Amino acid sequence: MNIITRIAEKLRMLIYPPQRWAKHIGVNIGEDNLMGKSHWSSEPYLITIGSHCQLTTCKIFTHGGGQVVRHIDPTFDAFGKVVIGDYVYIGAEALIMPGVTIGDHVLVAAGSVVTKSVPSGIVVAGNPARPICTIEEFYARNKKYNVKTKGLSAREKKKVLLGLPYGMFISK
Judge whether residue 162 has pLDDT over 80. Answer: yes
Q: Which of 10-14, 122-126, 150-154 has the highest mean pLDDT?
A: 122-126
Please state whether beta strands 122-125 and 130-134 pair in parallel, antiparallel, or not at all (unpaired).
Answer: antiparallel
pLDDT tens digits, one per residue of 30-86: 999 999 877 888 899 999 999 999 999 999 999 988 899 999 999 999 999 999 999
Q: Is residue 97 part of a domain?
A: yes
CA gap 74, 66 in Å, rounded: 9
What pLDDT is stored for residue 6 in this prediction? 75
The number of domains in the chain is: 1
Q: Which distant-in-sequence residues (6+ apart) come within 8 Å of 81 by Cβ? A: 46, 47, 48, 62, 98, 99
CATH number for the domain spanning 73: value is 2.160.10.10
Q: Is residue 121 part of a domain?
A: yes
Q: Is residue 43 part of a domain?
A: yes
Q: Is residue 143 part of a domain?
A: no
Strand partners, 45: none
Q: Residue 71: which domain range?
A: 19-134
Q: Is residue 163 part of a domain?
A: no
Would you place residue 12 in the very low, low, confident or very high pLDDT band (cuts 50, 70, 90)?
Answer: low
Peptide bond into 128 cis (omega under 30): yes
Note whether 68 and 102 are within 8 A (CB). no
